[in-house]
Amino acid sequence: MPANLPPQYYEAERRFREAKTPEEKIELLEEMMAIMPKHKGTDHLHADLRRKIAKFSEMSGKKTGGTRASMTISKEGAAQLAVIGLPNSGKSQLVAKVTKATPTVADYPFTTTAPTPGMMEFENIQIQLIDTPPLVVSTSVFWFTPLLKRADVLLILVDLSADPLEQMETIISLLTDMKISLDKNKTQSEDERELVYKKTVIVGNKLDLDGGGKNLKDLKDMYGDRFPVMGISAKDGAGIEEMKQTVYQVLDIIRVYTKRPGGRADMTEPVVLPRGSTLEDAALSIHKELLARLKFARVWGSGKHDGVMVSRDHVLQEGDIIELHVPK
């Protein structure tokens, strides 16, 4: 399967070759890893990059693995979301509210110094959230930018008890410094090749405090036509369900279910796929060998006749049930 690497990858690779110090090399390898798409076709490349990172870590005299590796949070569940924002916006409070993780929540800034993952339940899937230090720290630690570039979606948390537009401007400018763009069209031109596009949700927090409603309106007026914008209170839980729904929409994923011939589908364990995935993609994601052995398949759902036989390139829809037939 071709790796299909985006132009930003080759740009990072070029800078990797030109880099002088092991530290620079590691940073660029981490960037390449963040940019590359993750699927079966890139497994080898992924392993290769990890090997090189280990090699240069050794050369740089730093402990291999150890501190460096521990800042890379491996993806779990259907998708990975980085919760980002300025100090005290309530990032840790949000992660503590919707996951089982227990990051420290405090009324003084810079309480969070390391990224902390937790799993958020949404209906029958789990979405990984990562609590992060305030975005201003990004300039001083090497792992911050790669962490954000690796995430599937950025959840920008804005404090609605302070000026929301000022916060957004600061956040966008810090992200731009990190070569992260929130505008898909802005990664196309020649001099913007280094920019990595990230899907984004803007969440206004502390809606329970005075002025929260007014600030949320300002935020929606300013950014509502470019991003999903919603208000929550991470403290009392208001708006959290709507936030989860919106996050799911932004992820652009679908859930399909498998059944055995003559059996019933297990609706508690969806196969999660990017929107637009085909039957072939589904088979591949369930098991590497399944695709090669696949004889034929039937699909229920999709507004089709139930149980109709479909070809490998049939595009699946949210909620479809598939029955894969392989020879005994």
Interface residues with ligand GDP (CB under 6 A) are 85, 87-93, 105-107, 111-112, 134, 205-206, 208-209, 233-235
Choose from Mg ion, ligand GDP, none: what does 235 bind? Cβ within 5-8 Å by kind: ligand GDP
Tokens matching residue 170: 């600061």
**To the nearest whole angstrom, how small is the minimum distance from the Cβ of residue 89 to ligand GDP?**
4
**To the nearest whole angstrom, how small is the minimum distance from the Cβ of residue 203 to ligand GDP?**
10
**293 touches 327 (CB < 8 A):** yes
Choose from ligand GDP, Mg ion, none: what does 220 bind? Cβ within 5-8 Å by kind: none
Q: Which is nearer to Mg ion, 91 or 179 (CB)?
A: 91
In DSSP notation, 214-229 reads HHHHHHHHHHTTTS-E
Rounded distance, CA 204 to CA 182, Å? 17
Pick the stretch among 104-112, 189-197, 281-289, 294-302 that binds Mg ion (CB under 5 A).
104-112
Q: Which is nearer to ligand GDP, 111 or 126 (CB)?
A: 111
**To the nearest whole angstrom, how small is the minimum distance from the Cβ of residue 98 to Mg ion?**
14
Tell whether residue 92 is a contact of Mg ion (CB under 5 A): yes
**Among residues 80, 112, 200, 233, the one that binds Mg ion under rule CB under 5 A:** 112
Q: Which is nearer to ligand GDP, 133 or 270 (CB)?
A: 133
Tokens matching residue 80: 């990975």
Rounded distance, CA 133 to CA 283, Å? 39
- DSSP 8-state class, residue 278: B
Of residues 298-317, which lie at the interface with Mg ion (CB under 5 A)? none
Return the number of other C-beta atoms located less than 10 Å from residue 262's C-beta. 6
User: How far, in whole angstroms, is CA 302 from its chain's centroid?
Assistant: 27
Q: Which one-letter amino acid corresponds to residue 118?
A: G
Rounded distance, CA 134 to CA 228, Å? 22
> Under the rule (CB under 5 A), what is the footprint of Mg ion?
91-92, 111-112
